[in-house]
Structure 1
Amino acid sequence: MNIIHVIVLAIIEGLTEFLPVSSTGHMIIASSAMGIASDDFVKLFTVAIQLGAILSVVVLYFKRFFRSFDFYIKLVIAFIPAAVFGLLFSKKIDALLESAITVGITLFIGGIILLFVDNWFNKPVINEEKDISYLTALKIGFFQCIAMIPGTSRSAATIVGGMSQRLSRTAAAEFSFFLAVPTMFAATSKKLYDFYKEGHVFTGEEIKLLAIGNVIAFIVALLAIRTFITFLERKGFKLFGWYRIIVGAVIIGLYMTGHNLKVI
């Protein structure tokens, strides 16, 4: 893995982490295309640079994170389903990460859903996080579990989940951002622990690459979040739906024509 790989993957992470297009799916495809997907450090890197992305949420919404203790209770409640399912099915999830065709199929199906989601849930009654009940937070947390299938998009699953509970598009997107903080922190911590447990030791070069990747992901995510919220308020999800359908169709088409898209 070299500095060019780092820059490409970090930009992809920063751009896609909070958009409903699947950051994991895009990084699986990108690392596979660059021929580095089978490397253990690369697999760790694609998860570890999420720390830079989630830091952008804390910076942009700094005051919201210190407004009330109730805010944290809701995040913990919403986080629990993914934590439980992640521990129970971690091996199966890792297996799914090894096939790009899974990404193609879920991108395509998710894209179709996004074409219609604005019409399905067009009568919101919750416009702010403070009005989200504990039960609603838990339901959104179960939607987040769907995103364990690569290509689904954690952002898409939680935003659609929020809208299904009558949150406005903006409220659903912001709660999705907030929920990303404990979820991705836990996922990164587990990945780092597993990496260490397997006997790997970071070299000085690897530490430098991780640092650069997180800084780039942080900066790009700052810009992406603000742009996404503005776009979402004005245009909704259809453009993201069509994007997912096109990308998914290309991946499926390549697979059907005999191209080897297996990541390992």
Structure 2
Amino acid sequence: MDMHYLTIVLLGIVEGLTEFLPVSSTGHLILASELLGYDSAQWAMFNVIIQLGAILAVVVLYWRTFWAVAVGLLQGNPVSWRFLRNLVIAFIPAALIGLALHDKIEILLGEPKVVAVALIIGGIAILIIERLIKSATIVGIAEIPLVRVVGIGLIQCISMIPGVSRSGATIMGALTLGVERRTAAEFSFFLAIPTMLGATTLELIKNHDKITTGGVSWFDIGIGFVVSFIVAILVIKWFVGIVSKHGFGPFAWYRIVAGAAALIWLTMK
């Protein structure tokens, strides 16, 4: 396979594989650019746009949930309105802080060592939270109290540091606030939709002139989108099953090992 198309497929796989796992998709894409030696600036907009493939995977897998909520909203169902309220409220902190700190976040995206350290610290945090959290009483996204929704939204903002992981921050934040594992994971999936759409839209507005520069075409973006979509569908199904049975420990250990290996390699490079 031509190296150009190999890069497209690999980036699509990395995005789809890591977007909804608590391991940081952005961090993995940054480390991939260092490991594979490609020009990260050339592929920056490509990486942003193919996130929409991962978003589409959530919509396809949970279309019944979204349909039920839409019908419930039209019928004035209070459960549907609480579901929508919780997603909107949890999204607002990331939207406001993301807009305010956009330039500073862009600087951090060029620091692979920050990613490695964040992977290690995040893995340790997951292990601690898993050990301390013994029981959860909140089941169902619509049942999460408003105050705790705000807390989850604020905790999600920590993921603006590359390597922290948006899904990891929201899931662990939800767990510490009394939400059970499956609900925490699914809330993270649904919250990804407005969060990633917002981030992608902001990038497109600011850098629309760079979308297909540096040899990356719309055809290339289309391939990456499809690869990301297919991989994300498989990952989401697998992830929910693993979390329900075994918790988040395996992902914590992966983060620690991967972060340590990356830090050693970057230091010796």
Query: Percent of counterpart pairs with the same letter?
Result: 45
Cα pair distance change 1:28/1:201, threshold 3 Å: closer
Residue 262 (structure 1) aligns with: none
Residue 213 (structure 1) aligns with: 224
Do the aligned residues in 2 keep the contact of 1:116 with 1:238 (CA within 8 Å)? no
Q: Tell me if 1:10 matches 2:4.
A: no
State the one-letter code of the partner of 1:240.
F
Q: Tell me if 1:51 matches 2:52.
A: yes
- The TM-score normalised by the length of structure 1 is 0.92
Q: Tell me if 1:84 matches 2:86.
A: no
Deviations 1:23-51 (A, max 9, x none): 111111112222223434x0111121110
State the one-letter code of the partner of 2:190.
F
Cα pair distance change 1:201/1:17, threshold 3 Å: closer
How far is 1:127 from its partner? Answer: 1.4
Map 1:180-199 onto structure 2 (within 5 A): 180-196=192-208, 199=209
Map 1:1-264 onto structure 2 (within 5 A): 2-40=4-42, 42-66=43-67, 67=69, 68-196=80-208, 199-200=209-210, 202=212, 206-257=217-268, 259=269
State the one-letter code of the partner of 2:127.
L
Answer with 116-125 or 84-93: which moved more: 116-125
Distance 2:17 2:27 in 1: 13
Do the aligned residues in 2 keep the contact of 1:9 with 1:31 (CA within 8 Å)? no
SS at match of 1:124: coil
SS at match of 2:210: coil
How far is 1:201 from its partner? Answer: 5.9
Answer with 146-155 or 45-54: which moved more: 45-54
State the one-letter code of the partner of 2:59.
V
Total equivalences in the alignment: 255
Do the aligned residues in 1 keep the contact of 2:9 with 2:227 (CA within 8 Å)? yes
- The TM-score normalised by the length of structure 2 is 0.90
State the one-letter code of the partner of 1:207.
W
Distance 2:97 2:39 in 1: 25
Residue 74 (structure 2) aligns with: none
Do the aligned residues in 2 keep the contact of 1:13 with 1:50 (CA within 8 Å)? yes
How far is 1:138 from its partner? Answer: 1.3
Structure 2: give runs of 5+ residues left out of the alignment: 70-79
RMSD: 1.6
How far is 1:172 from its partner? Answer: 0.4
Answer with 134-143 or 100-109: which moved more: 134-143
Distance 1:244 1:58 in 2: 27
Residue 77 (structure 2) aligns with: none
Distance 1:74 1:187 in 2: 19
Do the aligned residues in 1 keep the contact of 2:45 with 2:211 (CA within 8 Å)? no
Structure 1: give runs of 5+ residues left out of the alignment: 260-264
Cα pair distance change 1:152/1:205, threshold 3 Å: closer
